[in-house]
A = this chain, B = another copy of it.
């Protein structure tokens, strides 16, 4: 078998799972339970299984299900990384996906086939991360910011019902800069992605109106 291996590159998939909380833009890291890079932190990923997976995206979904018990309907491809030296197992390709998790589902992520999970602040990871995952994460965050700059609303990061101020704060957190309220509201007016509800916030002094995303809204096709 060792004769054949070098002819077939190792094919991996990795996922940048992003969310936003009061502290900022977060990425899910797992502490690996297996070699290589055992006990190091990395984005959740693994090896494609051609007998089992129907596509690279299906492989990424299976790995998220197995490693962190997260079931996601859609992942978006970001880029590939490739070469002889990026993984100690040999010539490898990694296909990077990204997905957005609403902040009210962040707690649903639990470790399964990994040693630990942690939502790390993208601006200050706090860990050295394994392989070339820091560069890969940068690419995923770049795609997310680019979308939000281009007026695609990151509704996949919001809870089911939310106020316009909460939505503006989320956009600001993703972009890392304040947005002008009136410009932001004008942009929302043009968007068909939002539906006005007949409901208001509860338990606050001046309750704001609540909104939800249009049925079938896709951040990814935006």
Q: With A11-B9, A93-B11 known to touch, is A84 a contact of B4 (CB < 8 Å)? A: no
How close is A85's CB to chain B, nearest CB, in angstroms? 9
Contact between A83 and B54 (Cβ–Cβ < 8 Å)? yes
How close is A76's CB to chain B, nearest CB, in angstroms? 10
Return the chain B residue nearest A9 by Cβ.
Answer: B50
Copies of this chain assembled into the complex: 2
- The docked-state distance in angstroms from the alpha carbon of A4 to that of B222 is 41
- The docked-state distance in angstroms from the alpha carbon of A11 to that of B93 is 9
How close is A176's CB to chain B, nearest CB, in angstroms? 20
Contact between A55 and B77 (Cβ–Cβ < 8 Å)? no
Q: Does A80 lie at the interface of the complex (its beta carbon under 8 Å from any beta carbon of B)?
A: yes
Which A residues have a C-beta under 8 Å from some C-beta of B? 1, 4, 6-9, 11, 48, 50-51, 54-57, 77, 79-80, 82-84, 90-91, 93, 95, 150
